[in-house]
Structure 1
Amino acid sequence: MSDLHIRCAAPTDIDAVLRFWRTAAEGTSISDDRDGVGRLVARDPEALLLAERDGVMVGTVIAGFDGWRCSAYRLAVAPGCRRQGIATALMEAAEQRFTALGGRRADAMVLEANERAHHTWAASGYHREDHWRRWVKPLRG
């Protein structure tokens, strides 16, 4: 994977990230817009990691840390680039970030219906905690 480069997103990447998620990520979120991603990048400039090959975005992950828990969101790989180790490389970079910040546990938000992703997370050493049910409420500003 020597041709793969992982870097933090910059404000100038926001539109490209949103386009990428429309084709590579399954499902959308209320915060998948220019303002939402812009706030993420402004608040924590190292959280949104991009994988690039020859200058083309091929993967993303949000490696968020709130001072207590590490959370991975939006792990996505371009459909034509899957099964090439990109997700693994992104998660290794995310986990290095978590460790450097003092994180002790990482959670991943994964769509229930995305069976392919369940296998990817399991192969990466994550396990499912079915006893936790996440309740989500969109916040209006």
Structure 2
Amino acid sequence: MGKTDIGNRKDVSLLVHRFYEKVRKDPEIGDFFNSTIMDWPGHMEKLIDFWETNLLFVQKYKGNPIKVHAELDKKVGHKIENYHFGIWLRHWMETLDAHFEGPNAEKAKQRARNISVRMFMAIFEERRPLANN
């Protein structure tokens, strides 16, 4: 059976779960997630809401992921670098390619690229006052 496109919440859930299985095991970025997320089932639901909103335009997600990631960077001693977002993106692309193909899968790739740049820039901007001291 061939791969299909992302078409519903079940597909988004599969994508998010398979992706975070990889991320949590990654020796370079896993600890950022494993040391800070205490409620994985709740967090996964929030992530599924986020991607369902972004890909299928189902208005479920409420939150500010850019602010959350800037706060996370502060908690981990300002150790998150662009390099880490590259690893995150690689896992995202591999997970998409393993399970899906089609316009929404491509949209998921483009949105992840855009999100990773915006998040890293927000982290960088949040650090700027540190550099001025």
TM-score, normalising length: structure 1: 0.32
Q: Which has the higher strand share?
A: 1
Per chain length, whose mean CA-contact separation is higher, i.e. which structure has more relative contact order (CA < 8 Å, sep 6+)?
2
Q: Which has the higher helix share?
A: 2
